[in-house]
Amino acid sequence: MNRNAYIVGTGHHVPERKLTNADLEKIVDTTDEWIVTRTGIRERRICDEQTANSDISSEAARNAMKAAGWKPEDVQMIILGTVTPDYTFPSTAALVADRLGLGHIPAYDFEAGCSGFIYGLIQAKAFIESGLLDRVLVIGADMLTKITNWDDRTTCVLFGDGAGAVAISSEGPGGRLGGFHWGSNGSVGEHLIQPGGGSRNPASAETIEQNLHTIQMDGSRIFKHAVRAMRDACLKALEMDGTPKSEVDLLISHQANLRIIDATARALELQPEQVFINIQKYGNTSAASIPIALDEAVREGTIQKPNTVVLAAFGAGLTWAGIILHWEEGTEGK
């Protein structure tokens, strides 16, 4: 018997505190006009010093479980894509499992930059379709403002904090996980990197002094890779799914730059109303951007049933990923 994997509940959580473009004008040499026209971002959410990834991830996961009607004992595994865990180890996923009282289930973090959430969906799909598991929680969560160089105007205006989660089940109805495409290219990985703190440049007074613990990005180079990789990820996922572009109802893309989202939408020949955009509110939340947008699209009723939805992402690694969701009749709009 053919097994499928369905998204049966979505949730997200973002910190209360807003950092606007006007606030950033006071910190670095930038303008609201530059940020809005080059990126589409107007404000972003930012955590306080006490809050860590597991705090917001737990809230997002709780919301997804509630939407799915799951009790703690229903969850069989929890996986979390992030580049900003609470600690290098133990994993943030294990901390979240404990916080939510999920018992001693398998829990692990993985790292695929901003593509992390779709990488997580593909892993959950594999576990469920193979018959190994029936119910998996996937979280995408990041706090890039914790590793931002606030003196670097080329990066500090871009990022925000947030977490998104989905409950994935072998039993629908829901958003069925269809064809996908994922990939990486480490040969250009140094263009988007946190160089310090790992085994190459262990944390030291020197790495701190040189700001190696913060994000370094060659934005325009990444931009060009992103446009190409996102387009290819979408088209190859559609091909694997056997779905023509003309049947796509909605694109939910990683929210890194409005111009990249527009280019991806053009490649899919979509109308503006077929593209979900919330970058103006949250900036680039890395692995959280797609699950936050997906949850908003579900809760606002932007996703209708039936709907074919394309998710597409690009990020550090470099990595990229696309997946097709078939939102089927009978979903509770949760």
Q: Is 30 in the site for ligand UT7 (CB under 6 A)?
A: yes
Which of 151/171 has CB closer to ligand UT7?
151
Q: Is 108 in the site for ligand UT7 (CB under 6 A)?
A: no
**Is 234 annotated in the active site?**
no
Binding track, positions 36-75, relative to ligand UT7; x by CB under 6 A: --xx------------------------------------
Tell me the closest approach of the beta carbon of residue 59 to ligand UT7, in angstroms. 23
**Is 181 annotated in the active site?**
no
Applying CB under 6 A, the site for ligand UT7 has a residue count of: 19
Q: Is 256 in the site for ligand UT7 (CB under 6 A)?
A: yes
Please identify, among the stretches 1-9, 32-40, 88-96, 181-189, the one whose residues bind ligand UT7 according to the rule CB under 6 A.
32-40
**Is 47 annotated in the active site?**
no
Out of 254, 257, 307, 326, the active site residue is: 254
Query: What is the rounded distance in angstroms from the CA atom of residue 211 to the CA atom of residue 215?
Result: 9
Tell me the closest approach of the beta carbon of residue 69 to ligand UT7, in angstroms. 33
Q: Name the nearest CA neighbour of 270 among 246, 244, 302.
A: 246
Tell me the closest approach of the beta carbon of residue 115 to ligand UT7, in angstroms. 9
Query: Using the rule CB under 6 A, which residue among 25, 32, 34, 236 binds ligand UT7?
Result: 34
Out of 47, 114, 156, 234, the active site residue is: 114
- Provide the Cα torsion 295, 298, 302, 308; round to 10°: 100
Which of 92/257 has CB closer to ligand UT7?
257
Q: Is 315 in the site for ligand UT7 (CB under 6 A)?
A: yes
Please identify, among the stretches 34-42, 101-109, 178-186, 302-310, the one whose residues bind ligand UT7 according to the rule CB under 6 A.
34-42
What are the angstrom distances between the C-alpha of 55 and each of 6, 32, 112? 26, 31, 21
Query: What is the rounded distance in angstroms from the CA atom of residue 83 to the CA atom of residue 194?
Result: 9
- Provide the Cα torsion 113, 277, 10, 330; round to 10°: -130
For ligand UT7, the binding residues in 192-251 under the rule CB under 6 A are: 219-220, 222-223, 226
By beta-carbon distance, which residue lies closest to ligand UT7? Answer: 219
Binding track, positions 275-294, relative to ligand UT7; x by CB under 6 A: ---------x----------
Tell me the closest approach of the beta carbon of residue 168 to ligand UT7, in angstroms. 24
Please identify, among the stretches 56-64, 88-96, 149-157, 163-171, the one whose residues bind ligand UT7 according to the rule CB under 6 A.
149-157
> Is omega for the bond preceding 318 within 30 degrees of 0, making it cis?
yes
Query: What is the rounded distance in angstroms from the CA atom of residue 295 to the CA atom of residue 165?
Result: 8
Which of 170/216 has CB closer to ligand UT7?
216
User: Among all residues, which ones are annotated catalytic?
Assistant: 114, 254, 284
Q: Give the residues lining the site for ligand UT7 (CB under 6 A).
A: 30, 34, 38-39, 114, 153-154, 157, 219-220, 222-223, 226, 256-257, 260, 284, 314-315
